[in-house]
Structure 1
Amino acid sequence: MIWKLALNGLQRNRRDYLILFTGMIISVAVFYMFLTMALNKEFITQNSVINHIQLVFAVGAALLSIITFFYLFYTNSFLLSLRKKEFGLYELIGAKKHQLKRVFLIETLTLTAFALAAGFVLGIAFSRMVSVLLMNQLNVEFTEFKAVYLSAVFWTVAYFLLASLVASAINSAKLAKASIINLLQAAVQNDFIPEKPKKAAWLPILLGFAFLSIGYASLFFMEILRFVGLFAAPVMTTLGTYLLFCSLLPVIIRKWKSRNRANLKGINAFTLSQLSFRLNDLKWVLATIAMLIALSAGAIAGGFAFKNNAVTFIDEERLYDATLYNPGTAEEEILKSLPLAEELSYHFKMNDQFIYYAEEELLAAPPLIVDWIDYQQKRPTPLPEKLEIDEAGYSILPDEWMTALETINPAFATTRTARIVPLETFEKTGGEEISIVLARTDKFQNYVPEWQELDRLQLSAFEQLPVGFDPAVDELPSKYAQFKRQYAFASGTFFMGFFLGLAFLTMLASILMFKILSGAGNDIRRYDSLRKLGVCQERLSASLSKEILIVFLFPAVLGLLHVLVGMRIFTFVMNDPYYRLWVSLLIFLAIYGGYYFFTVYLYRKLVLPKA
């Protein structure tokens, strides 16, 4: 009998479960994909570049697990609230509390099992897609990658089953404490909205604006406030959002209703009354949706910005795209095939103490350097005729020329003291003479395959240099090697942000959609009454669309405002935090708008009387 009641409950409430089912599927898929990239040991050990992004996907899985738990808890609680009257009837005819808890638990675990099955299929597709995109972006071939990874499957199943059990247990405990009378009267609503706001109602509105202003100011001046801003911005912004939705939203609807020109047009009075009637039930949800919109759109935007920052940062830190030691014919042929903006050639010799450079060669073609005071590119000024002498009797080079020698010779710059000597002295100095070629183009990222091939050719050259280089362990001190590390980390951050944003968007939209559709039963008689009074189907449909649009619009506007201001939080760690923000906004509008139109479609089918 318990199983029969549970299955009947699933069948009877399949529409509500299906709406929330979509959010859980996306959550399972993304969670599994993150774990596959973070736990795949053979994949990580065989591909050194993945070591840099393993932590990114682990952090993404942790963040998603937190949000998903609250999503499961909220949806589980709300489903229970809709079925309290049903459970009360079961108890009235003799069912025990522990039997009702078992029915609810079976329904929850059945839904979770179906979500896991569908989520694994989608998660495997996500994992395969991300691995292919990473290979293409990094121009590498991954080995030992497994889209179906048993460890990730196990932990995904364990987490979602545990989260569902905990959420079900907490809500079942509330069910057990409720009396039969409370359960039977759970569907009775009394949303009283006062005609005139009390004077004290303006205090939370002012506090909401004050908290939101402090939060926005903390975000805007994040580079100055640093740790204080990191704490103040999310706390104050969240408090301000909830206060404004709980206090200002009723005032806006009330003022709108008081305007006769708007209120008396068509059936706007009915539409606004619908909003007012439902306002107390919606305001907390809308505030939560606004914060989730900020998190989801911000996660996607942050991913784009981090990925772009990897390219711009490497160009600022390493001005020359290639540094070649003793280049051979193969390296020279690749350089000839590139549209070089500059190519410089130098030589050096070294012994146990010093690295020697020819002064005439350096002065004839000084390299570009970055002035770390004003961050401008320039050439070092000519060397003074007389250099300062240190306590050991050696010449002290100016800071600009120390930076220039680090640019010319990154592999040996910190191993020995540099000495710039006249060409005649340089030629008489003993030791092997090593040549260096610096080359740069206008766009480093446009020629990644060429830089990769030059690094491969340089491996044999480095094995001959007295630098203790082990190709099995060490990486070349090249711009491409540094770029590969940073770009791999940035790419992992991009995919983490994108899929976190996708999961958040799906969950928040399904919550809002479910919340709206759950009130359809009470609206059927109202729309039916209007139809009997002679209101045409088109006006009823337009009123319904407008009502749902306002509900969707309020959290979207404030949430996107949070994103526009909130991206300032990254100003002190990246060059352009607003890079391709419009793409993130379009993705959000496409998903959020799709849920709006689907909600309107389902609501019309449920509420509007048939013509």
Structure 2
Amino acid sequence: MIWKLSLTGIKSRFKDYLVLFSGLVISSTIFYMFLSLALNPAFLRKNMSFSISITQYIFIFGAILLGIITVAYVNFANNFLLSMRKKDYGTYLMLGAKSRKIGNLIFSETLITGFLSTIVGILLGILVSHVVTDMLLNLIQIKISSYSSFVFNAVLYTVLFYIAIFFLAAIFNRIKLTKTPVIKLLKEEQSPVTITKKKFLRIVFAILGIGLLATGYSLLLKKDIDLKIIVASFFTITFGSYFFFKASLGMAIDFLRLRHQILYKKLHSFTLGQLKFRIEEYTQILAAISIFFALALGAITVGMRFESYKNQYASTTYYDAVVQKETVKTTRLLKEIKGKTTTRYNFKETSKVLYFNQSSFKKTPLVNLVFDEKAVSSQSDAIEHMKTVKLTAKKNEIAQMTQLLQEFLQTDKKIQFVSNSEYQKLTGKVKQVQLIRTKDMRANYSNLKELNEEQTDSSQGLAPLRPVAYQMVIGLVSGFEFMGFFLGVAFLAMLASTLMFKVLTGAKKDQIRYQMLSKLGFRDKQIKGAINQEVGILFFLPAVLGLCHVLFGLKLFERIVIKPYQDFWIPFTIFLLLYLIYYFATIKLYQSIALKKVK
């Protein structure tokens, strides 16, 4: 009978459970995807061009971060569900149910909810990971081979992690509800809210919050940043956010309430009053959301900026391909490459030496790219400051030209530059090397890559060519791009849901207040407008502060990514649109709860 009543209660709040369920499914899906990549050695060895251990660390690190946020998410969501079910559980106890039975019911409900969401998340992860990975890696031009979307160890660790979280949550729920008096379970929504009225403390907290934020931001603006500064800035910004929301917003609301032209317009008096007593209750959650908002947006932004490495590292070399062997395939590929410029050098080969005509380099210099040390101001922008050097086989250029030609020709033979008359007298097999450069290397990348593979002797190493550098850096940045994007999406889904749960927790308590407004003659449209304003403020205040955290926090990544602020509007717009979806969903759910008796 109790199970039947419980299922009826869950069914009546299906929309609320669906919000929790969807957030958990997104979390477990992405968690599984990260582990499936980290624990899939065959895929990593064949598709990533850098050490498998480093790649594993990237995705394991992402899974750990996701796990930390998931713990916080489950905690807030669990509190929300408890607040909704307390009256139901109190009713069961009033009807004669034993507290032990209710405790077991609570334990089972929590564990089953977590288990089902985890299983659905894993199944969804198995189904979509292959498609999503294929789409993403096609964008970064990596071909998938030996990739299996089902990885047993990833399934096992995902189940163990999420079941462990919900097992602890289930124990907490059982202890908390079985020790709560029945009268409190039935009447908790009628409990008064305590508001701090000590103005001196609020002023101190406001100064402390602004001071800590300013200190944290100033630390991030330093040129020389080390681990101590990063840790110090994190703690100052975190506690600064807490004190800011604890005091500054309350003072701002008091200031607005003194402005009669604002206070008595529409339902502003009611909205400011609602916010007045909610700010105390929301201090911790708003501060946490602002920090995690910054982490989520920062993860997507930094992940997208790793794309810049592809072109930047490719620009450290000048030529795109070297052709020595004329084959049918080579001829076909050369015809398909568009916008190319070809430089040809003839040479004579003996058993130990390659002889080049020095005069041919005067007509068509060999081009090399080198770092412009005078232009480089920091380690972060060294790649951007390259200068073109034209080599004509002068004495001071011989060593540089020799090294380049040996790498292009993949030979250890000695190279000599001789005059035209000496070259004509030499005996030896006449050969030719073609150096190819295109206007758009990325557009011709597949053909250039195939051409270089056709011409390259893998046992001799890699030549300094743009597609080679591009191919090498693809493996490095792909892991960070993948992790940053999906980590940001997972953070957003869970954190926006967390704030949604917190806002909806008070919806039941607000029913009587909105019922009173309706009886006073206010129209539904006006009441809904007040709800939109109140929820909007609670949603976008941490978003604004979180955006400030991101704008200063991106300074940390100047040594990791190139121009972290470039095209910032793209991830910000995507992120804001997703955030708005959660905002409108919260409004609809809030209205369905708070205005239920008004309609």
- State the TM bucket, normalised to the shorter chain: 0.7 to 0.9
What is the correspondence of 1:7-156 to structure 2 with a 5 Å cutoff?
7=7, 10-11=10-11, 13-47=13-47, 49=49, 51=52, 53-84=55-86, 87=89, 99-137=101-139, 139=141, 141-156=143-158
- Per the alignment, residue 603 of structure 1 pairs with 590
Q: State the number of aligned residues.
A: 585
CA distance in 2, matches of 1:319, 1:166: 59
- Per the alignment, residue 517 of structure 1 pairs with 504
Change (3 A) 1:206 1:312: same
Q: Which amino acid aligns with 1:320?
A: Y
8 Å CA contact 2:206–2:247 kept in 1: the answer is yes
CA distance in 1, matches of 2:412, 2:173: 65
Q: Which amino acid aligns with 2:139?
A: Q
Deviations 1:457-483 (A, max 9, x none): 124xx27xxxx44xxxx7676432432
Q: What is the TM-score with the length of structure 2 in the denominator?
A: 0.86
Q: Which amino acid aligns with 2:498?
A: I
Deviations 1:333-368 (A, max 9, x none): 533543446433346789999877554444441313
Query: Does residue 1:376 correspond to 2:375, yes or no?
Result: no
CA distance in 2, matches of 1:229, 1:260: 45
Report the secondary structure of 1:225's partner residue.
coil
2:524 to 537, 544, 550: 537
CA distance in 2, matches of 1:305, 1:275: 38
Report the secondary structure of 1:152's partner residue.
helix
Mark the runs of 5 or more structure 1 residues left unpaired by the alignment. Answer: 388-396
1:457 to 454, 459, 465: 454
Deviation at 1:102, TM superposition (A): 2.5
CA distance in 2, matches of 1:506, 1:493: 20
CA distance in 2, matches of 1:569, 1:347: 50
- Per the alignment, residue 504 of structure 1 pairs with 491
RMSD: 3.4
Q: What is the TM-score with the length of structure 1 in the denominator?
A: 0.85
Report the secondary structure of 1:295's partner residue.
helix
Report the secondary structure of 1:437's partner residue.
strand
Deviation at 1:205, TM superposition (A): 1.8
- Per the alignment, residue 553 of structure 2 pairs with 566
Report the secondary structure of 2:448's partner residue.
helix
Percent of residue pairs identical: 31
8 Å CA contact 2:212–2:240 kept in 1: the answer is yes
Change (3 A) 1:336 1:16: closer
- Per the alignment, residue 331 of structure 1 pairs with 330
- Per the alignment, residue 200 of structure 2 pairs with 199
CA distance in 1, matches of 2:252, 2:220: 27
Q: Which amino acid aligns with 1:212?
A: L
- Per the alignment, residue 169 of structure 1 pairs with 171
Q: Which amino acid aligns with 1:191?
A: V
Change (3 A) 1:610 1:171: closer
Deviations 1:376-421 (A, max 9, x none): 322257666xx6xxxxxxxxx56xx655554444367896887655
8 Å CA contact 1:34–1:57 kept in 2: the answer is yes
8 Å CA contact 1:10–1:107 kept in 2: the answer is no
- Per the alignment, residue 580 of structure 1 pairs with 567
Change (3 A) 1:12 1:327: same
Query: Does residue 1:254 correspond to 2:251, yes or no?
Result: no
Deviation at 1:79, TM superposition (A): 3.0
- Per the alignment, residue 526 of structure 1 pairs with 513
Question: Which deviates more from structure 2 when the two are superposed, residues 86-95 or residues 446-455?
Answer: 86-95
Deviation at 1:490, TM superposition (A): 1.8
Q: Which amino acid aligns with 1:321?
A: D
CA distance in 1, matches of 2:358, 2:305: 43
CA distance in 2, matches of 1:569, 1:237: 14
Deviation at 1:518, TM superposition (A): 1.4
What is the correspondence of 1:133-532 to structure 2 with a 5 Å cutoff?
133-137=135-139, 139=141, 141-175=143-177, 186-193=188-195, 198-221=199-222, 223-315=223-315, 317-326=316-325, 328=327, 330-340=329-339, 342-346=341-345, 359-364=358-363, 365-373=365-373, 374=375, 375-380=385-390, 397=396, 402-410=399-407, 422=419, 435-459=432-456, 462=457, 468-469=459-460, 478-532=465-519
Report the secondary structure of 1:345's partner residue.
strand
- Per the alignment, residue 394 of structure 1 pairs with none
Deviations 1:257-300 (A, max 9, x none): 11111001122111111111222111211111111211111111
8 Å CA contact 1:343–1:437 kept in 2: the answer is yes
CA distance in 2, matches of 1:79, 1:151: 31
CA distance in 2, matches of 1:527, 1:234: 40
Q: Which amino acid aligns with 2:554?
A: M
Q: Which amino acid aligns with 1:298?
A: G
Q: Which amino acid aligns with 2:313?
A: F
Change (3 A) 1:137 1:456: farther
Question: Which deviates more from structure 2 when the two are superposed, residues 50-59 or residues 252-261?
Answer: 50-59
Change (3 A) 1:19 1:350: same
Change (3 A) 1:3 1:89: closer
CA distance in 1, matches of 2:401, 2:249: 61
Q: Which amino acid aligns with 2:270?
A: F
Change (3 A) 1:355 1:540: same
Deviation at 1:15, TM superposition (A): 3.9
8 Å CA contact 2:346–2:433 kept in 1: the answer is yes
8 Å CA contact 2:317–2:464 kept in 1: the answer is no
Question: Which deviates more from structure 2 when the two are superposed, residues 171-180 or residues 238-247?
Answer: 171-180
Q: Which amino acid aligns with 1:410?
A: E
Deviation at 1:531, TM superposition (A): 1.1
Report the secondary structure of 1:276's partner residue.
helix
Deviation at 1:238, TM superposition (A): 1.7
Report the secondary structure of 2:224's partner residue.
helix
Deviations 1:200-231 (A, max 9, x none): 3222222222222232233333x522434433
8 Å CA contact 2:361–2:391 kept in 1: the answer is no
Deviation at 1:519, TM superposition (A): 0.9
Q: Which amino acid aligns with 1:214?
A: T
Question: Which deviates more from structure 2 when the two are superposed, residues 270-279 or residues 207-216?
Answer: 207-216
Q: Which amino acid aligns with 1:61?
A: A
- Per the alignment, residue 594 of structure 1 pairs with 581
